[in-house]
Amino acid sequence: MKGFKGFDKDLKCRDLQYEVSKEAAVDGDIELCKRGIHFCENPHDIFSYYAPGENNRFAVVEAEDVSDESNGDDSKRVCKRLTVKAEISVFEICRIAVSTFFENFGFKKKIDSADTNNAGDYGAARAGYKGAAQAGDCGAAQAGDYGAARAGDYGAAQAGDYGAAQAGYKGAARAGDYGAAQAGDYGAAQAGYKGAAQAGDCGAARAGDYGAAQAGDYGAAIVSNSGRVKGGYGCVLVARNIEYSEETKRYEVADWACAIVDDKNIKSDTWYELSNGKLVESKDQSDDTDKETTA
C-alpha cells in the first residue's frame, strides 16, 4: 500500500532509524496508535504528527502487512513492514494533497452515483452550472462552473471555474480557475489560476498563477507566478515563478523562495510575494480568500 510518512531531521520516527530504499520492520503483533510502523494514506495528514518546517522530513512509502484498523479521525494506518521509497518536499505534499485525498476518498465514484443536490452524512450531492451542492460529514459535493459546493468534516468538495468549494475539518476542497477553495484544520485546499485557497491549522493550501494561498498555524501555503501567500505561526510559505525555457523546451522554476512564519523575519497573518529570490511583504494586504459558499 502506498502512503506517506513524517520523520525528524535524522529520518527517525520514535527512535526507529529509516533509510531511503531500505525496509524497516517490526516483529509480533501490531496495533494502531500503540505498536507497529505508522504512516498515512493522505499526504497532508502527516502534518498532524510532523509539522512542516522544524527540520522535519517527509517521504513516500510502501507499506506491507498492513492492519485493517483505522481510527476514523484521519488516514493513519499501521503495518509490520515499510520501505521509504523517496523523500518528498512540503511543496510536493501541497501539490498532491487534494488530488490524493479525492482519489482515496473515491470522490468520482460517489459523485457518479449522486441523484440529489443536498445529501446527508456519507452522502453524495451534485449540481450543474451555477448550481449549489451540499453534503454532510464524510460526504462528497460537486458543483459546476460558477457553482457552490460544500461538504462537512472529513468530506470532499469540488467546484468548477469561478466556483466556491468548502470542506470542514480534515476535509479537502478544490476549485477551478478564479475560484475559492477552503478547508478546515488539517485539511487541504486547492484553487486554479487567479484562485484563492485557504486551509486551517496544520493544513495545506495551494493556489495557481496570480492566486492567493493561506494556511493556519504549522500549515503550508504554496503559490505560483505572481501569487501571494500568508500563514499562521510556524507555517511554511513557498512562492515560485515558472517560465518556459527555449533551451530545454519545457517549463522550469526561474525564481523561488521559502520561509517559515516566526513573527520575527516573517510575520503571521501577513501577505507575502516573491521578489528576486525573497519573500517580501505585499503591497496588497486585502484578503482574496474571504469568499464563502452559498450552498
State whether 56 and 190 are in the same domain.
no
- Domain extent, residue 186, equals 119-281
Instruction: Indicate the number of domains in the chain.
Output: 2
When mean pLDDT is compared across 101-105, 236-240, 288-292, the lowest value belongs to 288-292
Neighbours of 178 (CB within 10 A): 20
When mean pLDDT is compared across 3-7, 41-45, 152-156, 291-295, the lowest value belongs to 291-295
Neighbours of 262 (CB within 10 A): 13
Confidence tier at 94 by pLDDT (50, 70, 90): confident
The secondary structure of 36-88, three-state, reads CEEEECCHHHHHHCCCCCCCCEEEEEEEEEECCCCCCCCCEEEEEEEEEEEEE
Across 107-111, average pLDDT: 92
Task: For residue range 217-246, list pLDDT tens digits in order.
Answer: 999 999 999 999 999 999 999 999 998 888
State whether 141 and 27 are in the same domain.
no
State whether 77 and 12 are in the same domain.
yes
State whether 135 and 251 are in the same domain.
yes
State whether 47 and 132 are in the same domain.
no
State whether 80 and 128 are in the same domain.
no
* pLDDT value for 290: 46
State whether 259 and 152 are in the same domain.
yes
- Residue 294: inside a domain: no
- Residue 140: inside a domain: yes
* pLDDT value for 48: 85
State whether 35 and 128 are in the same domain.
no
Q: Name 243's Cβ contacts closer than 8 Å, sequence gap at least 6.
A: 251, 252, 254
Measure the CA–CA gap between 147 and 140, rounded to whole angstroms. Answer: 15
State whether 142 and 210 are in the same domain.
yes
* pLDDT value for 20: 97
Express as a percent the part of the chain with pLDDT over 90.
Answer: 82
Confidence tier at 293 by pLDDT (50, 70, 90): very low
* pLDDT value for 55: 85
- Residue 151: inside a domain: yes
- Residue 100: inside a domain: no
Confidence tier at 158 by pLDDT (50, 70, 90): very high
State whether 141 and 273 are in the same domain.
yes
- Residue 111: inside a domain: no
Cell of 100: 490524493
Q: Strands (DSSP E) along 160-283, which ranges?
A: 164-167, 172-175, 180-183, 188-191, 196-199, 204-207, 212-215, 220-223, 228-231, 236-245, 250-260, 272-275, 278-281
CA 143 remoteness from chain centre:
20
Q: Is the pLDDT of residue 287 over 90?
A: no
Q: Is the pLDDT of residue 291 over 60?
A: no
- Residue 213: inside a domain: yes
State whether 37 and 158 are in the same domain.
no
State whether 25 and 139 are in the same domain.
no
Task: For residue range 42-86, list pLDDT tens digits in order.
Answer: 998 998 899 887 789 999 999 999 999 987 778 999 999 999 999
- Residue 103: inside a domain: no
- Residue 287: inside a domain: no
